[in-house]
A and B are shown apart, each in its own frame.
Chain A
Amino acid sequence: MSLTERSQSLLKRNLTLEDTLPTRMPVYVNSVAYLFGAGSLVGFLMLILTGLVMTIFGPNWYHYSATGHFVNSLHFWSTQIFFVALLLHLVVKFVMAAWRDKRFKTWIFGILSFAVLIFTGLTGFLLQSSWDSQWIAVQAKDAMNAIGIGAWFNTANVGQMLTLHIALLPVLGAILVGVHLFFVRRDSPVKPLSRSGRRHES
């Protein structure tokens, strides 16, 4: 079997077009609680789009340009909305015990994404080139040094924070989110627990 045939077979077994762009959904998927995942995904998309605009003009743009300040504000509030949606998504998946029926990997990659995106957020706060970033840099350095990662993660090194924030961390986050979504779509939404919580109904 060729590599292409193997890839086709893998996709047929794990991720068909119907999984990628579903036109049907189990009837139990019927609550706003299911929207928080999409909300965090859209928040992430907004962060990437507004972030890309800012990469054109650089991190100091917002200090001297009204347009830059507005784009920075869009980025700032996208961060807030993103984390609101992400935490609600996490809470909802927890109360649903959504790791059941062999969905542990989905949970693992979701939590790993969460961790990486928290660090992405931290590097973003450190890039504001304002008093806030100045204060966070000197405070956070002690925390990073204490746990040993300050040796190669210097919160006061704005060049390093910039490259981490706009390249490594978002790319890593996007990969982890991508793997998370692959498992989400491959496995389909987990079935409801029984009313008593013992086992799912099917």
Chain B
Amino acid sequence: MSLRSDEYQKGVPQKSYDLIREVLLVLLGVVIIVVVLAAVFGSPDYPTVRGEDVATKQPIAFEKTTVGILAGDSSLQEYGPPYTNNNENAQRLWGVAPATWFGVTLPIDATQDLVIKPLERVALLRSDVAQALQQYQQAPDTQKDAWNQAYTGALDNATYSNGHVLVAAGDYGPVPVMMDGMLALAKAGLLEGALQKNGQLPYALDSTLPLVYFEDDVDHNVAESLNMLGSQWGLIHETGRFPGAWWLWSYSFFYQIPPMNSSANGDLEVGVIMIALFLILLFLPIIPGLNRIPRGIRLYRLIWRDWYRKPPAG
């Protein structure tokens, strides 16, 4: 042994030991368990929620999502850093908002990036959409708001027929044509491609915009049906019978209890709690009281029971 361990182990009886044999036996055990679990249960592979699926199966929900984004009602519109400069909307605790420290590093203008820019591409293929988009962009904001609100309300009683969403007659301006253009884009399976940043194409390695498009109502409805909402301990299990990151149960736990479960700053509150718990765990050996817990609960007597049964002479 090294000088250090020789000194430490002085007088302690030693036994014969074969490290490689032990590691190989543990390896064999782990391999058997993993292979059996993989063969019997496989691994989760639940299909993604795509624009094509939503537009085809839930066209009215698709248009509700899209007109909501167009109207500026999406959670991303005034999210705050790192997407927008609405610092007032960043989560804060005791007046501190860590999200603002690095500023807007991933700028997103939801209305423009998620609806208007894709529509500009559709406009190249459909003249009715081009005219509608031009009319919309030239209209004053109050008029846009009125059209968006009216169409959003009309969608509550909309029907779907012959590939189009139909609403009662009303003053919706160019919005129905624009929504029909977005619906056609999504049904064609082109929505996600249209949302990619042009500069990087054909390499689409950043899925931020395609992922956030449905993050509000559509994704939440899917997650709820699969028992995966944050309030349903969503993080620690995957779809179906598969475990998820169950080792983060304590992280999930704090989302289940007040005030975090209803707080607008819940993510930050839970984050701060977890950082504090991590630091406590890290420095536990030198925290008075906590470092005495093992001596109090005395579970070590189970681990070293043979040693206590036959302590070495002297």
A172 at the binding interface (Cβ < 8 Å):
no
Is the CB–CB distance between A28 and B12 below 8 Å? yes
Residue among A73, A125, A142 with the highest chain B CB neighbour number at 10 A: A73
B103 at the binding interface (Cβ < 8 Å):
yes
B49 at the binding interface (Cβ < 8 Å):
yes
B155 at the binding interface (Cβ < 8 Å):
no
Is the CB–CB distance between B45 and A63 below 8 Å? yes
Is the CB–CB distance between A138 and B30 below 8 Å? no
Instruction: Output the nearest chain B residue to A70 by Cβ-Cβ distance.
Output: B38
Q: How many residues from A make CB contacts under 8 Å with B?
A: 100
Q: How many residues from B make CB contacts under 8 Å with A?
A: 108
CB distance from A162 to the nearest CB of B (A): 8
Interface string of B8-27 (1 = CB under 8 A from A): 11011111111110110011
Is the CB–CB distance between B294 and A12 below 8 Å? no
B285 at the binding interface (Cβ < 8 Å):
yes
**Majority secondary structure of chain A interface residues (helix, strand, loop or mixed):** helix
Cα(A29)–Cα(B305), bound, Å: 11
Give every chain A residue within 8 A of B303 (Cβ-Cβ): 31, 33, 92, 95-96
Interface string of B59-90 (1 = CB under 8 A from A): 00000000000000000000111100000001
B34 at the binding interface (Cβ < 8 Å):
yes
Cα(A165)–Cα(B20), bound, Å: 29
Cα(A6)–Cα(B253), bound, Å: 51
Give every chain B residue within 8 A of A86 (Cβ-Cβ): 247
Interface string of B92-106 (1 = CB under 8 A from A): 000000110111011
CB distance from B20 to the nearest CB of A (A): 7
A167 at the binding interface (Cβ < 8 Å):
no
Interface string of A182-202 (1 = CB under 8 A from B): 000011100111010110011
Cα(A201)–Cα(B219), bound, Å: 59
Is the CB–CB distance between A23 and B38 below 8 Å? no
Cα(A198)–Cα(B294), bound, Å: 11
Is the CB–CB distance between A97 and B234 below 8 Å? no
A139 at the binding interface (Cβ < 8 Å):
yes
Is the CB–CB distance between B43 and A72 below 8 Å? yes
- 5 A-B pairs (CB sep. < 8 Å): A26-B12, A118-B247, A128-B45, A135-B223, A201-B307
What residues of chain A have their CB less than 8 Å away from a CB belonging to chain B?
12-16, 18-19, 21-31, 33, 35, 38-39, 41-43, 45-46, 62-63, 69-70, 72-78, 80-81, 83, 85-87, 92, 94-97, 99, 101, 104, 107-108, 111-112, 115, 118, 121-122, 125, 128-132, 134-139, 141-143, 145-148, 150-152, 154, 156-160, 162, 186-188, 191-193, 195, 197-198, 201-202
Known A-B contacts: A28-B12, A80-B37, A104-B286. Give 13 more (CB < 8 A): A19-B2, A31-B306, A43-B30, A72-B45, A94-B284, A97-B294, A112-B282, A130-B47, A146-B265, A146-B268, A158-B207, A160-B205, A192-B307
What residues of chain B have their CB less than 8 Å away from a CB belonging to chain A?
1-5, 8-9, 11-20, 22-23, 26-27, 29-31, 33-35, 37-39, 41-49, 79-82, 90-91, 98-99, 101-103, 105-106, 205-208, 211-212, 215, 219, 222-223, 226, 228, 230, 234-235, 238-239, 242-248, 265, 267-268, 270-272, 275, 278, 281-282, 284-286, 291, 293-308, 311-312
